[in-house]
Structure 1
Amino acid sequence: MRKPDPTAVSLPAVRMLRVDAEQAGQRIDNFLLRLCKGVPKSHVYKAVRNGEVRVNKGRIGADYRLQEGDSVRVPPMRLPAPGAARPVPPAVFPVVYEDDSLLVVDKPAGVAVHGGSGVSFGVIEQLRAAYPGASLELAHRLDRETSGLLMIAKRRKALVALHAMLREGLGHKQYLALVCGDWVNDKQHLRQPLLKWLTASGERRVRVDPEGRPAHTIITLRRRYGAYSLVQAELRSGRTHQIRVHLAHAGHPIVGDEKYGPDEVRAEFARLGLRRMFLHAWRLEIPHPITGTPLALEASLPPACEQVLARLQHLEPHS
């Protein structure tokens, strides 16, 4: 007989919960993960797949969005025993803005925004661990290799408002990128449609394709460094890897980009001390999701990026 795990305990019984207005609109998987803190994601998704989790007495998928008044059946789930080690190490990231509804942090490069795809935890899980009891949800995402401004909603109403504003193009997200080549135009609009695809090994990629979704990036030249250029990229849509793919398709891949940039350039800049992709979400302009007050937030370039720009200023131009 299998011995019980002494480090875990079970909830005493099935729980029946009623969804209120603040909870409405959430996906059932996110609702359960917040409710059952510490329970492995695999356990939560298995409970949904097996029909142990029910809404209004019926089976649902993990992507079901809750409605006000829904009755949710939550089965007993194994939780860490009191005093057990926290499964996610808490972390506090540099705070650029915070109030009762919104948190904006400066995410470092190399840190995923959430767990999954081989990553046990990300920024959102670490923030939840650092702010126990708070209701924190990602308002948008940044690639793991990208640093800079990341918005986290602290209230459901703020999350819904932020999603609506980003869909409607009311927010302006601006990035700084160092790209290969001499960028010619002072300002250029890139509007190529983008399509997601998977490599033979299952790695997610994106390419320009007529069958893809519409995408719009505005590129503004900031400074030339011989064989490289510092540009500003403004997102007018929010597709996966949008800036990276648009710039690579234009013949100017981002320095340090492992997916869409040349290996020899990445190796060259590693010798200069830059061991990351040079893409940074540096400025955000958006109305406050609750008050409507205009917000203009900035996060300075990380020291590694500033240092490589200083080095480029003193290097001879490449032929």
Structure 2
Amino acid sequence: MKDLERFSGKTTQKPRQSEAQSSPQTVLPQAQFVTIGEEEAGQRIDNYLLRICKGVPKSHVYRILRSGEVRVNKGRIDQLYRLVAGDVVRIPPVRIAEKPDNAAPAAEFPVIYEDAHLLVIDKPAGVAVHGGSGVSFGVIEQLRASRPDAKFLELVHRLDRETSGLLLLAKKRSALTSLHEQMRDGETDKRYLALATGDWKNKRQHVKAPLHKYTTGDGERRVAVMETGMPSHTVFSLLRKYREFALLEAELKTGRTHQIRVHLQSTGFPIAGDDKYGDFALNKALQKRAVPLKRMFLHAHQITFRHPESGKIMTLNAPLAPECEKFLVSLGQPDNSALQ
């Protein structure tokens, strides 16, 4: 599909004088007809429109869908319609801000691996993966802004805002579909480094506790262990034992929201620095140490998957963030006898 410059304000249709005077930063493009290629196929029409109509409010995108102004192959569709290669989509004239106030600033992140199908980055802590829930933009919006020529760029999975480490993005629809299937079938191996607080004993421990997701009265998303929750399984392996902490590798057998954080909290060993499920008094004290810990100590350090094109098994690693490494050094020598 051609680069959609027509949506960025480049059009031969002139706005009426009154509109040009009142909204100098907006234009009214003519209706556009776009033929869907293989890489656009498979996604929902609403998500497709939200991606290509940059600067158009989400509410307006859904309004033109409900009103039938968006047509596919000359027929009306609803917002759940999934595009097929060869579909001809009519996109009606829409008012688009050339420089929307909430436009994400372009940014790149440390690249662990990249080819024509995949982009794997090392996400820093404190950066959301996408906008929403009070966050105006995240990694995906910033990467799209920095790569305006990218025809397709989508998150394969998510990381919590305060979690650092490996984040997979697909550069082709086929890659996204393949990786989603691998995750759904349990073929993907994702491992995290977590610093648990307390006197951890076991070299290897399975935690199988069902997790229930809910929203608090003020709109905050939370997770709790409940019998009616979704089956969840994490395997924890002890890597280093300190007097007050234990460095664990967490292997995800399922991929629930906040799974590692809640599983550790439920066993009495919350993650150091976790502001949702942690020991809040301890977290405050950790921020005042000579070498402070001012973030949650959870890092996605390794992932293994099958390359969506070649089928080759790939294992990628991201080094522990410097601030976490420095904090570990400040704890002194670990007790190696705990690993025997």
TM-score in terms of structure 1 length: 0.91
Aligned mates of 1:43, 1:202 — CA distance in 2: 24
Residue type at the aligned position of 2:84: Q
Structure 1 position 49, deviation (Å): 4.6
Q: Percent identity, please.
A: 54
Counterpart of 2:24 in 1: which secondary structure?
coil
For residues 261-303 of structure 1, the C-alpha deviation after alignment (integer angstroms, 9 at most, x for no partner) is 1211211211132111100000111111111112111111111
Aligned mates of 1:313, 1:44 — CA distance in 2: 56
Partner of 1:253: 270
Partner of 1:205: 222
Structure 1 position 222, deviation (Å): 0.8
- Does the aligned pair in 2 maintain the 1:8–1:78 contact within 8 Å? yes
Larger Rg: 2
Partner of 1:94: 110
Partner of 2:50: 33
Partner of 1:289: 308
Residue type at the aligned position of 1:44: V
Counting matched residue pairs gives 312
Structure 1 position 21, deviation (Å): 3.3
Partner of 2:15: none
Aligned mates of 2:206, 2:116 — CA distance in 1: 37
- Does the aligned pair in 1 maintain the 2:55–2:100 contact within 8 Å? no
Counterpart of 2:282 in 1: which secondary structure?
helix
Match of 1:298 among 298, 317, 324: 317
Partner of 1:19: 36
Match of 2:258 among 241, 262, 270: 241
Q: Is 2:294 the partner of 1:275?
A: yes
Q: Counterparts in 2 of 1:57-76, with a 5 A limit?
A: 57-61=75-79, 63-76=80-93
- Does the aligned pair in 1 maintain the 2:30–2:92 contact within 8 Å? no
Distance 1:50-1:268 versus aligned 2 partners, 3 A rule? farther
Structure 1 position 84, deviation (Å): 8.0
- Does the aligned pair in 2 maintain the 1:54–1:60 contact within 8 Å? no
Structure 1 position 52, deviation (Å): 3.7
Please tell me the root mean square deviation across aligned C-alpha atoms, in Å: 2.2
Match of 1:154 among 171, 179, 190: 171
Structure 1 position 71, deviation (Å): 4.6
Counterpart of 2:161 in 1: which secondary structure?
coil
Match of 1:163 among 172, 180, 183: 180
Mind listing any 5+ residue stretches in structure 2 that lack a counterpart? 1-17, 335-340
For residues 137-162 of structure 1, the C-alpha deviation after alignment (integer angstroms, 9 at most, x for no partner) is 00000001100000000011111101
Partner of 2:122: 106
Q: Is 2:282 the partner of 1:265?
A: yes
Moved more, 252-261 or 16-25: 16-25
TM-score in terms of structure 2 length: 0.85
Aligned mates of 1:137, 1:243 — CA distance in 2: 24
Structure 1 position 67, deviation (Å): 3.4
